[in-house]
């Protein structure tokens, strides 16, 4: 009997050990993926051309695509389980994805997006929120959250996302990688679920500026050419006042990099708000008011959502003429914005702004839903979205354990110039960012030593 009991305990022990081992293995799988992917597969490139022809430009690189790009044989889920359930598998692959595969890269899967690619937080209640490797307790940014996380964790060399109002720029900034939003219309939208056609731009992420540039040359279908230095680098001083971290931590990194690479004479400062006031007159006629209320009960929240849906649908039907008149004004603003920024950035000029004003909010926090946060964010993000100009997010290390970034904008159609400029400036920007962090640490040590000396002197004086 005693022997039987002993055997039972041994079996139980082995069973528990097995469960622990399996749990650890599962955790490793989850940790390795960080929730970035919706589906994993492999689409291989064609064979290399025979010599003396050059190899494919993206040979050896892997990439992932956000779950808004069609891939033959797979449902495009759009970040929503109900959408995925009610739609058929794609019958062809998006030309954008195909061009990258034909260029020598291997597509390894689809990544998580915000529900309907509509938010900028990166949170998704259906598929789970990808973990931000640069700040695990904070949101990864959206809408192309999974694509950014896949690059940030080195699961792929680059990835594709959609940027409507920041869908590539925000997650790049929050995950500490490079994100490029091309000029509006520069990359085909075929085989992609639209969010807002007049604002949508196919963007891409990478850690290496050279890879970012190589992908750009394939997607933009532009040849490599002699690189041109910027004629001016314009610091939008008023935009940096929106930052929730010390302004010098970002602006001075760009200033010192510019002085080192191109000379102080290239620098220029601008109050962008004043400039747009004078160049975009339709802004004065466009006003919007919003009111937000809280609904505590889940059933009441559901009822409220249904009511809002019915209201939006019927309001549009009943007042379509008035809505269209507002759209006409918005279209005028967009046209004026493009003209204004193209004028400001003509002749190889670059505009420098913060990517986003706030550090990544905490997961599940209310901050990202607040009107103040959204106004600060969209004040910066709207510049490229509304003008159609190209913009690149560049990481600049971290501040208080959160990623820091800056954005460079070029005129509409200046994509190749901007990609070249990023490659030229990237290494120096990283060096200056590291120096800024070390300088802060050094000052903190000096401050602590000074405080200790003062405390010691006070103690002696009391004696």
The verdict on residue 55 lying in a domain is yes
The verdict on residue 374 lying in a domain is yes
pLDDT number for residue 307: 57
Domain that holds residue 391: 32-270+348-447
Count of domains for the chain:
1
Q: How far is CA 376 from the centre of its chain?
A: 16
Q: What is the pLDDT of residues 312-340, one digit of tens each?
A: 677 677 768 877 887 888 889 999 999 99
Distance CA 98, CA 62 (A): 13
* Interval 171-192 mean pLDDT: 98
Distance CA 380, CA 357 (A): 8
The verdict on residue 102 lying in a domain is yes
pLDDT number for residue 442: 54
pLDDT number for residue 277: 86
CATH number at residue 145: 3.90.1300.10
* Interval 288-311 mean pLDDT: 51
The verdict on residue 285 lying in a domain is no
The verdict on residue 247 lying in a domain is yes
% the chain with pLDDT above 90: 71
Q: Helix crossing, 209-219 with 415-462: angle to 10°?
A: 150
Distance CA 181, CA 161 (A): 9
The verdict on residue 336 lying in a domain is no
Fill in the DSSP letter of residue 48: P
pLDDT number for residue 306: 65
Do residues 178 and 393 lie in contact, with contact meaning Cβ atoms separated by under 8 Å?
yes
Distance CA 447, CA 131 (A): 35
The verdict on residue 323 lying in a domain is no
More confident residue, 412 or 454: 412
Distance CA 156, CA 175 (A): 14
The verdict on residue 222 lying in a domain is yes
């Amino acid at each position: 009997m005693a022997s039987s009991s002993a055997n039972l305990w041994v079996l139980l022990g082995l069973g528990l050990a097995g469960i622990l081992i399996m749990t650890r293995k599962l955790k490793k799988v989850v940790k390795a993926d960080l929730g970035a992917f919706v589906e994993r597969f492999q689409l291989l490139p064609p064979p290399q051309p025979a010599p003396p022809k050059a190899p494919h430009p993206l040979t050896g690189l892997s990439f992932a695509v956000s779950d808004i790009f069609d891939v033959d044989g797979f449902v495009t889920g759009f970040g929503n389980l109900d959408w995925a359930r009610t739609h058929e598998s794609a019958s062809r692959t998006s030309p954008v994805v195909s061009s990258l595969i034909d260029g020598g890269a291997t597509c390894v899967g689809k990544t998580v997006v915000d529900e309907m690619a509509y938010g900028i937080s990166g949170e998704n209640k259906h598929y789970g929120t990808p973990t931000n490797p640069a700040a695990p307790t904070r949101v990864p940014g959206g809408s192309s959250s999974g694509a950014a996380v896949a690059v940030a964790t080195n699961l792929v060399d680059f990835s594709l996302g959609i940027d409507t109002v920041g869908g590539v720029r925000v997650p790049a900034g929050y995950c500490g990688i490079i994100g490029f939003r091309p000029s509006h219309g520069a990359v085909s939208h075929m085989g992609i679920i639209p969010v807002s056609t007049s604002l949508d731009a196919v963007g891409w992420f990478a850690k290496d500026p050279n890879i970012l540039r190589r992908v750009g040359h394939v997607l933009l279908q532009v040849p490599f050419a002699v690189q041109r230095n910027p004629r001016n680098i314009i610091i939008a001083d008023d935009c940096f006042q929106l930052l929730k971290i010390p302004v010098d931590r970002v602006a001075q990194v760009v200033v010192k990099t510019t002085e080192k690479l191109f000379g102080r004479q290239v620098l220029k400062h601008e109050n962008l708000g004043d400039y747009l006031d004078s160049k975009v007159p339709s802004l004065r006629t466009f006003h919007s008011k919003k009111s937000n209320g809280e609904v505590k009960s889940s059933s009441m929240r559901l009822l409220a959502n249904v009511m809002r849906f019915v209201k939006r649908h019927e309001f549009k039907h009943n007042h379509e003429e008035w809505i269209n008149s507002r759209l006409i004004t918005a279209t005028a603003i967009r046209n004026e914005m493009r003209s204004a920024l193209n004028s400001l950035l003509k002749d190889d000029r670059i505009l420098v702004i913060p990517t986003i004003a706030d550090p990544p909010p905490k997961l599940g926090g209310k901050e990202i839903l607040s009107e103040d946060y959204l106004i600060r964010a969209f004040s910066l993000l709207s510049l490229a979205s509304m003008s159609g100009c190209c913009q690149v997010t560049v990481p600049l290390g971290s501040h208080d354990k959160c990623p820091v970034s800056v954005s460079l904008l070029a005129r509409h159609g200046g994509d190749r110039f901007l990609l070249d400029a990023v490659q030229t400036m990237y290494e120096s920007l990283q060096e200056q960012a590291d120096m800024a962090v070390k300088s802060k640490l050094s000052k903190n040590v000096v401050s602590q030593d000074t405080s200790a000396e003062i405390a010691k002197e006070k103690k002696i004086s009391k004696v």
